[in-house]
Amino acid sequence: MHGPSPDTLHPFNGEPHTVYLKNVITRPTIEVGDFTYYNDENHAAEFESRNVRYHFDFVGDRLKIGKFCALAQGTTFIMSGANHAMTGFSTYPFNIFQNGWEQGFDPATIFDHLKGDTIVGHDVWFGTNATVMPGVTICSGAIIGAHAVVASDVPPYAVVVGNPARVVKLRFDEATIERLLEIAWWDWPAETISRNLDAIRGADIEALEAAATGLGSECDAKRNRA
């Protein structure tokens, strides 16, 4: 058992409603890890153009999504290009319509207030129509509720819901979360993940740590043979 190839475009029985996202990304300012998928009944392959909004090269922000994330239909990332100047009385973007309205515009009123890259860790689950605002970091293991609007950072293994999204609980106690982040099973080779699915899908942290220890032994054996 070796699992699907991360280079497969449609990994769900070939159905077009689900794509491994990295295979439909063309922009160098978007990075997506292996096995992260997007599900959309009609526009799965158009994620880059339909679901990553206001992402302009001249702004320079990046979207980084880790491995083994699950994105339900309508998951949307609002990037920094959506920002308007908020330092004066009006937020109306007069300058973009030109014809003289661009005169006197100071780009610093926008660019000095951008929040940087948007980063998603590994094994994050996004519910239907979740929205992520610019510059947010969502840590590994988090769950983003359906229709949530994420405007601030999300801790590891937190469950967030609402608008603005708020933490309603942590999936595990803090000690277990630290151990999970140390194990980082998503960085294991695919064949090792395939052999240890019961431990990964289960809730026995000691079993998962034992699998991680076994991985270390495998690496040592390979080095010795080399």
Q: Which residues are catalytic?
A: 84
The C-alpha angle 65, 122, 116, rounded to 5 degrees, equals 40
Asked if residues 45 and 26 have their Cβ atoms less than 8 Å apart, the reply is no
Name residues whose C-beta falls within 8 Å of residue 226's C-beta, 6 or more positions apart in sequence.
Answer: none
Name residues whose C-beta falls within 8 Å of residue 33's C-beta, 6 or more positions apart in sequence.
Answer: 22, 65, 66, 67, 68, 69, 122, 186
Asked if residues 110 and 89 have their Cβ atoms less than 8 Å apart, the reply is no
Q: Is residue 196 exposed (0-12), middle (13-18) or buried (19+ Cβ within 10 Å)?
A: buried
